[in-house]
Amino acid sequence: MALRIWASSTANALRLSTATRPHFSPLSRCFSSVLDGLKYANSHEWVKHDGSVATIGITDHAQDHLGELVFVELPETGGLVAKATGFGAVESVKATSDVNSPISGEIVEVNKKLNDTPGLINTSPYEDGWMIKVKPSDPSELDSLMGAKEYIKFCEEEDAGH
């Protein structure tokens, strides 16, 4: 079961929680969740490597900053993605935002539910809101991505700088 580490975008304290479900209090609007066991790109996508397949989506931090998603543009299965290159886009608040792949590989599955329910990315960014599944062409690319603690620090520094 994944540990959940809560990261505050405004507070300085870091809280480690073993809660199995996110537990939102009125203050939790300031908190984005980061899951241990995933890897993270500095463009705010996550990747979960499980055997021969890697699942990719955008983080809770990203969806929170983007706002309500109204449209998701996804590639076709069979296509290729390259590390740090765009594979799709999301639309929110009158803006399209590129989504970049943290790793290279072949797309083996696309989350078609997002066509009708793009808001799944807002409500469940790490589970129901996954975007694509990829067969990695170079698993060593995962080594250069951030772990959960590193990503929390990255988000805090990024938010503090604005």
Does 121 contact another protein by CB under 8 A?
A: no
The least CB distance from residue 151 to another protein, in Å, is: 16
Helix/strand/coil (H/E/C) assignment for every residue in 76-125: CCCCEECCCEEEEEEEECCEEEEEEECCCEEEEEECCHHHHCCCHHHHCC
Residues in contact with 128: Cβ distance below 8 Å, sequence separation at least 6, in sequence order: 113, 120
Among 93, 109, 123, 153, binds another protein (CB under 8 A): 93
Q: Does 71 bind another protein (CB under 8 A)?
A: yes
Q: DSSP label at 15?
A: E
11 binds another protein (CB under 8 A): no
Range in contact with another protein (rule: CB under 8 A) among 11-19, 21-29, 97-105, 131-139: 97-105
Residues in the site for another protein, rule: CB under 8 A?
A: 43, 65-67, 70-71, 73, 84, 86, 89, 91-98, 100, 158-159, 161-162
